Amino acid sequence: MAEKVLMKGNEAIAEAAILAGCRHYFGYPITPQTEIAAYMAKKMPKIGGCFLQAESEVAAINMVYGVAGTGKRVMTSSSSPGISLKAEGLSYLAGSDLPSLVVNVQRGGPGLGGIQPSQSDYFQATKGGGHGDFRMIVLAPSSVQEMADLTIKGFDLAEKYRMTSMILADGTMGQMMEPVSLEAPELNEYDKSWAVTGTKCERNKNIINSLSLVPEELERLNFERYERYKAIEENEVMYEEYMMDDAEICISAFGIAARVAKNAINAARKEGIKAGLIRPITLWPFPNEAFRKAADKVDCFISVELSMGQMIEDIRLASECKKPVYLCNRVGGMIPSPEMVLESIKAHSKGGTK
C-alpha cells in the first residue's frame, strides 16, 4: 500500500488518470472541476503528455474522439452544463465504439443552475447521454479514494468494452480533501487493431466511423453493441451493502448522499430501527439484483438523492414495485443532513408517522 497523501477529489482523479497511463487531457474551464485541468496542465508537460485547453466543451470531446481513435488513453472532465455540450461527442464515441473517460463533477441545474453539488444529471448519465441507443458505464465515487480507484477502473472498462466510462461525481466529492493512497495499476492489454495510427503501408486502412446508411447494417451494429452491454450488466455491477443483513428499511444513495445516509443509519440503529444501505457504485449497470433481493426482505426503500428523484425510478424498476419507494431529497446545491434522513427513516419505519 502506497503512503497516504491528502488530496482533493478532483486532484485524485487527475493523478489516478496519469497513473493509469492517460497522457492526453482536453478540457474547458467550468466550476467545480477546474482542479482537474489545473493538475493536468502542471503535470502533463513534465511527463511527455498533452494538456490542451480547448475552445469549447464541444471541441474538447472531439479532441478526445481523435486521440481515442488512435487507441490511446484519453480523458476530459467537466460539470453539468459542459456535459450537455459534450452530448454530441458522447454519442459519436458510442457509435464509433471508442474508449474514453469522461468526468462529470455535477452542479445544480437545469440551465446554468448553480455551482454547488448536485446529482441531478443521473438521468443524463444513465439513460440519455446523447442521441441514439447507447450506454455509458457510469461510476459513482463516494470518497476521494474512490475518485482515484474508479478513474483507474473506468479506463480499464472503457478499453475492455470499447465505450465511454463516466465518473459521475458531484461538487462535494470534487472539492473535499481526504487521505488517499495512489499506486500505478497493472494495465491490462486489449486489442487495438482497430485504431488509426497510419497503415505504415503494411495493413489495410482502418476507419473510425459511426455512419451506416444501410438500415440492416445499422441495426446489426446496434444489436451487437447491446450484446456487449449485456455482458457488462452480467459482469461489471458494483455496489456496497451496509447493515443490510437484518435491515427492515433499505436506504439507497450514491456519492455524497451515501455518506450522509450511513450517518443516519447509524443513528437509526441506536434508536432500534433496523435500517441498511445499498450504495450503487455502478449506476449503469444498475445493481438490479441487489434491489430485487432486498425487496423480499425490507418493508420499504428510501432513495436519498441530490435531485428531484431520478435514481428512485431505477429502484422501483429493480424492486418490481414490490415495496414502496420513498424519496428524501434536497436540490439546487443543497445536501440532505443526517438528521433529515433520520427523520425520513423514522417516518417510514413500523409505527412511523407515514
Partner 1 sequence: MVVFDKPKSLADVPLHYCPGCTHGIIHRLVAEAIDELGIEGKTIGVAPVGCSVLAYNYFTCDMVEAAHGRAPAVATGLKRSDPDNHIVFTYQGDGDLASIGMAETVHAAARNENITIIFVNNAIYGMTGGQMAPTSLPGQVTQTSPYGRDTSHCGFPVKVSEMLSQLDGAGYIERVAVNNVKNVRNAKKAIKKAFQNQIDKKGFSLIEVISTCPTNWGMTPEKALEWVEEKMIPYYPLGVYKDRDADNKAE
- What is the spatial distance between Cα 152 and Cα 19, in angstroms, rounded to a whole number? 8
Binding range to partner 1, per CB under 8 A, among 103-111, 118-126, 140-148, 200-208: 200-208
| Largest distance between two CA atoms of the chain | 76
Binding range to partner 1, per CB under 8 A, among 146-154, 202-210, 241-249, 344-352: 202-210
| Binding flag, residue 161, partner 1 (CB under 8 A) | no
| Binding flag, residue 206, partner 1 (CB under 8 A) | yes
Q: Which residue, 74 or 268, is less far from partner 1 as judged by CB?
A: 74
Enter the C-alpha cell of residue 71.
487507441
Q: ∠ CA(255), CA(257), CA(258), 5° rounding?
A: 70
Q: Which residue, 87 or 176, is less far from partner 1 as judged by CB?
A: 87
Q: Given candidates 41, 84, 88, 299, which one binds partner 1 under the rule CB under 8 A?
A: 88
Enter the C-alpha cell of residue 288.
438490479
Binding range to partner 1, per CB under 8 A, among 49-57, 77-85, 287-295, 334-342: 49-57
- Angle, nearest 10°, between helix axes 9-19 and 34-43? 40
Q: Given candidates 128, 131, 181, 199, which one binds partner 1 under the rule CB under 8 A?
A: 199
Look-up: residue for cell 445516509? 261
- What is the spatial distance between Cα 36 and Cα 215, in angstroms, rounded to a whole number? 41
How far, in Å, are 19, 46, 153, 192 from residue 186 at the CA level?
A: 10, 22, 11, 18
Binding range to partner 1, per CB under 8 A, among 9-17, 68-76, 235-243, 253-261: 68-76
* Closest separation in Å from C-beta 228 to partner 1: 21
Q: Which residue, 75 or 268, is less far from partner 1 as judged by CB?
A: 75
Q: Given candidates 17, 22, 40, 64, which one binds partner 1 under the rule CB under 8 A?
A: 64
What is the per-residue binding string for partner 1 in 1-40, x denoting contact by CB under 8 A?
A: -----------------------x-x--------------
Stated length of the chain: 354
| Binding flag, residue 218, partner 1 (CB under 8 A) | no
Enter the C-alpha cell of residue 8.
482533493
Q: Given candidates 12, 13, 68, 180, which one binds partner 1 under the rule CB under 8 A?
A: 68
Q: Considering CB under 8 A, how many residues would be counted as binding partner 1?
A: 39
Enter the C-alpha cell of residue 214.
444501410
Q: Given candidates 74, 169, 251, 273, which one binds partner 1 under the rule CB under 8 A?
A: 74
Binding range to partner 1, per CB under 8 A, among 152-160, 209-217, 238-246, 344-352: 209-217
Note whether 13 and 145 are within 8 A (CB): no
* Closest separation in Å from C-beta 52 to partner 1: 7
Note whether 87 and 102 are within 8 A (CB): no
| Binding flag, residue 84, partner 1 (CB under 8 A) | no
Contact residues for 215 (Cβ-Cβ < 8 A; gap 6+): none
| Binding flag, residue 46, partner 1 (CB under 8 A) | no
| Binding flag, residue 50, partner 1 (CB under 8 A) | yes
Q: ∠ CA(191), CA(194), CA(195), 5° rounding?
A: 100
* Closest separation in Å from C-beta 65 to partner 1: 5
Strands, sheet with 50-53, edge to edge from the N-terminal-most edge strand: 50-53, 24-27, 74-78, 100-106, 164-170, 137-139, 282-284
- What is the spatial distance between Cα 118 and Cα 256, in angstroms, rounded to a whole number? 9
Q: Given candidates 197, 230, 289, 339, which one binds partner 1 under the rule CB under 8 A?
A: 197
CA pseudo-torsion sign 145, 148, 154, 157: negative
Interface contacts to partner 1, rule CB under 8 A: 24, 26, 50, 52, 54-56, 58-60, 62-70, 72, 74, 88-89, 92, 96, 196-202, 205-211
